[in-house]
Structure 1
């Protein structure tokens, strides 16, 4: 039974000393640190256990197993991904695409011949970035459409965090701005994503 007593000074209720004697002190929690060596040893133990299992004689360990049943007799056409799967491209292809795009701008679209002096900058634009058509900036967004500070460029000039917040008013971009508002007459998005590896060279030329 928990007894209470009244404090003589302020008339507040407080627990008696017998209550505190019954409180058990919890033991300190031990923290386990997993070193690289311990993780490697655990991996080897699990690997050895898996390798000790005997497979049936009719199972090919090098075969490909599907999660769902598939009748290959019903498949008429087999398709394979070509770019960067069957065909592996050299870095020189990036320079070729850039130079051809630059030449097209000069000869077909009558851009100033001075842009022929603009050299390709490999690694500047990578797949997954977004280009804001309205504001003219190259930007990186995460899966929650949140701006990644330090990744916003206007041309080849990086924008500071203050400039980015002044430009967008918020770090999170509305999905309607990125993908377009389907419920509105103005459904066109304000951003274009570099979803193709062959677009990166063109966008390097564009932002320069």
Structure 2
């Protein structure tokens, strides 16, 4: 594949592969680049993996938690939900809000709340909601989309057939969400999902031929690389082999070569707790040959009673490409890689809270968020430039007409000459304003539906950035559609932000 390090590199990067910058970052200051695995290095196929997760959760609800067998006939529309939504557990609603936490789109199950009902519920209150736990749940990972969809289905089911899903307590919608989460956790604990993926990785995970060139380019530039994942060693070993071209099929057996692309691997990390300074979780070393765990003293191998001089332990350590561990905390990682300052680390992940917020706020690490949906979002933005221009034109025209209409009404109230002329003028302006307002609303609705028929643009809610976009802006130094977009940039590149504008500056900053 053609990358920045290729001899035939032409310097052209497609817009869908751009890396966008919220805070300036000079890669020369980065000594270690870390990666999450699930949904970062390993991009799961929504039409197979998320459907598998959904079906597994439904079965747990029916067979483990006593839900009606009707659920087994349900299907999952994996395109319906998007990231950045918020579940109102008490009311059974799904919300999309802007960066100021104003709810602009709300559904009860799959029924859209009329504006009046939405405003009465979320707008006209004496105090502002924080929209955080325990009453709300954030849909901030791609893996959460299936459980959000199932929650909406169960809300509809409870409303239409209350006798089939009797309330166990007063907050029955909250109980439904709690049961869905319990079912999801059961799927993880019994290995239902990971066993299926391990048997046929190609069915559930996208191949990316640029992963290995990216690792090589970073290591050739002198950077250390590390992997921190919540997945345990056995699953990590299968997935990383697949991503690096070792499918495990006949003729392409799995091996340890993928470890040569890293200086350190930490599995079972229990992020986000891993990033807490107060984390005192024990660190175990993984025996790569057997997968067994060995005790360590903060990363230093403990002498085995059958090897009093530590010769076998040292021989194994010297022969390994890199060391693999399970558990521990960020202090162990800093020690093992000799990291002197948080700003020396760039961490790449997909989870705004589990990967990005904690590592950024608590450690000062530099961060890059992977947003796979961004690729299609950019393409749709490009396709709908004309519609966006029309929308802005109608909005400006509406403001002009409203100013003129208000002026005419003011004069009509205070001046008693030419009343008939002023009244005719006001009526004409009102008709023009109403006509432009209807055009603006219809254009905005058309634009909204071009991106997603229900939720609209991922990064926008109404005229404002969405809450998800606001979080990306606050906590991610960089963001991009795929982790391997790093291949299209120099390992020493200095990423610079675009210029910020206040509304008053935009008067003089038209491009």
- What TM-score range do you get, normalising by the shorter chain? 0.5 to 0.7
- The TM-score with structure 2 as length reference comes to 0.24
Which has a greater percent of strand?
2
Q: Does 1:157 align with 2:116?
A: no
Q: Does 1:80 align with 2:39?
A: no
Residue 125 of structure 1: aligned partner: 81
Residue 67 of structure 1: aligned partner: 26
Distance in 1 between the 2:50 and 2:126 partners?
32
Q: Does 1:93 align with 2:49?
A: yes
Mapping for residues 43-54 of structure 1, pairs under 5 Å: none
Q: CA deviation at 1:131?
A: 0.6
Residue 144 of structure 2: aligned partner: 199
Which has a greater percent of helix?
2
Residue 170 of structure 1: aligned partner: 124
Distance in 1 between the 2:101 and 2:69 partners?
38
Q: For 1:190, which of 126, 135, 138 is the aligned residue?
A: 135
Q: CA deviation at 1:80?
A: 1.4
Distance in 1 between the 2:127 and 2:81 partners?
20
Residue 72 of structure 2: aligned partner: 116
Q: CA deviation at 1:130?
A: 0.3
Instruction: Give yes or no for contact 2:50–2:146 (8 Å, CA) kept in 1.
Output: yes
Instruction: Give yes or no for contact 2:102–2:123 (8 Å, CA) kept in 1.
Output: no
Instruction: Give yes or no for contact 2:87–2:137 (8 Å, CA) kept in 1.
Output: yes
- Post-superposition Cα deviations, 1:55-79, rounded to whole Å, max 9, x if no partner, equal xxxxx998xxx6165374xx5xx52
Distance in 2 between the 1:125 and 1:133 partners?
16
Structure 1 residues 117 and 104: CA distance shift in structure 2, 3 A: same
Q: Alignment RMSD, CA only?
A: 2.7
Distance in 2 between the 1:159 and 1:109 partners?
30
Instruction: Give yes or no for contact 1:98–1:120 (8 Å, CA) kept in 2.
Output: yes
Q: CA deviation at 1:190?
A: 2.2
Instruction: Give yes or no for contact 1:127–1:195 (8 Å, CA) kept in 2.
Output: yes
Distance in 1 between the 2:49 and 2:120 partners?
38
Structure 1 residues 193 and 103: CA distance shift in structure 2, 3 A: same
- The TM-score with structure 1 as length reference comes to 0.55
Distance in 2 between the 1:205 and 1:71 partners?
42
Structure 1 residues 153 and 86: CA distance shift in structure 2, 3 A: same
Higher relative contact order (CA 8 A, sep 6+): 2
The gaps in structure 2 that reach 5 residues or longer are 1-8, 12-24, 154-511
Q: CA deviation at 1:166?
A: 2.6
Q: CA deviation at 1:145?
A: 0.4
Structure 1 residues 115 and 80: CA distance shift in structure 2, 3 A: same
Distance in 2 between the 1:143 and 1:123 partners?
23
Q: CA deviation at 1:175?
A: 4.3
- Post-superposition Cα deviations, 1:105-142, rounded to whole Å, max 9, x if no partner, equal 01110100011122112222211000111221001011
Matched length? 131
Q: After TM superposition, what 4+ stretches of structure 1 lie above 3 angstroms from structure 2? A: 68-72
Structure 1 residues 171 and 139: CA distance shift in structure 2, 3 A: farther
Residue 101 of structure 2: aligned partner: 145
Structure 1 residues 68 and 164: CA distance shift in structure 2, 3 A: same
Instruction: Give yes or no for contact 1:139–1:147 (8 Å, CA) kept in 2.
Output: yes
SS at match of 2:103: coil
Distance in 1 between the 2:80 and 2:38 partners?
21
Distance in 1 between the 2:30 and 2:80 partners?
46
Structure 1 residues 61 and 80: CA distance shift in structure 2, 3 A: farther
Structure 1 residues 68 and 99: CA distance shift in structure 2, 3 A: closer
SS at match of 1:123: coil
